[in-house]
């Protein structure tokens, strides 16, 4: 087993726990649950760094630019997520600012994820089903993001008396669950291939 594989598997588990903590925070409104969510999000981002570098090492020969640029973008995104979430967990950064900056960091991570999926399909080395599942998760997340932005434009936010429909909430949960599953699968795949 490689460090990158174990680290990515752990990152998937931590990201799943982070999502659960976010749900508890939203349901209770207790700040401690929000800080726990931020701390686990920061930990997830740090755990993903070895896997991101390992994937670059696997695909760089013969494709340095095609994987190098997305790897740089992904690493910057992960460092951004780790920094903002860590500072928010430590009460050093307002969560609204952290959410905006962290969302940009996570989007950068998703660019890396898409590039990895493309590399897998184009060059092999990891399971093709992993790539297709990653693209499915990215597509669902994009669709849910558009629906969420439409909701926010119509209602101002997710806060207050107006809540998203159960269908939108379920779609968001499903889209979210795709990411820890993909990351954990990546970790298992790296560990087996390594």
Contact predicate 148/172, CB 8 Å: yes
Count structural domains, the chain. Answer: 1
Q: How many C-beta neighbours within 10 Å does residue 11 have?
A: 27
Say which residue the tokens 């209602």 belong to: 155
Which range of residues forms the domain containing residue 11?
Answer: 3-193
pLDDT band at 160 (very low <50, low <70, confident <90, very high): low
Residue 193 has pLDDT above 80, yes or no: yes
pLDDT tens for each residue of 21-59: 998 998 898 999 999 999 999 999 999 999 999 999 999
pTM value > 0.95: no
Rounded alpha-carbon distances, angstroms, from residue 38 to 12, 18, 64, 167, 188? 15, 8, 33, 26, 25
- The pLDDT, as a whole number, for residue 89 is 94
For residues 122-143, give the mean pLDDT: 95
Q: Please give the residue that has the higher pLDDT: either 98 or 127.
A: 127
């Amino acid at each position: 087993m490689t460090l990158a594989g174990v680290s990515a598997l752990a990152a998937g588990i931590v990201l799943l726990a982070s999502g659960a903590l976010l749900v508890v925070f939203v349901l209770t409104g207790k700040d401690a649950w929000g800080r726990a969510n931020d701390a686990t999000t920061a930990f997830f981002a740090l755990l993903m760094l070895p896997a991101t570098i390992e994937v670059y090492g696997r695909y760089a020969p013969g494709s340095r630019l095609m994987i190098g640029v997305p790897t740089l973008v992904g690493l910057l995104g992960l460092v951004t997520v780790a920094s903002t979430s860590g500072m928010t967990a430590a009460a050093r950064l307002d969560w609204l600012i952290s959410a905006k900056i962290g969302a940009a960091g996570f989007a950068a991570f998703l660019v890396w994820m898409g590039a990895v999926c493309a590399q897998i399909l184009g060059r092999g080395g990891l399971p093709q089903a992993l790539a297709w599942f990653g693209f499915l998760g990215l597509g669902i997340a994009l669709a849910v993001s558009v629906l969420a932005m439409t909701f926010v434009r119509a209602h101002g936010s997710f806060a207050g008396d107006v809540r998203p429909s159960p269908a939108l909430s379920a779609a968001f949960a499903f889209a979210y669950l795709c990411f820890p599953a993909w990351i954990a699968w990546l970790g298992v795949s790296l560990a087996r291939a390594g």
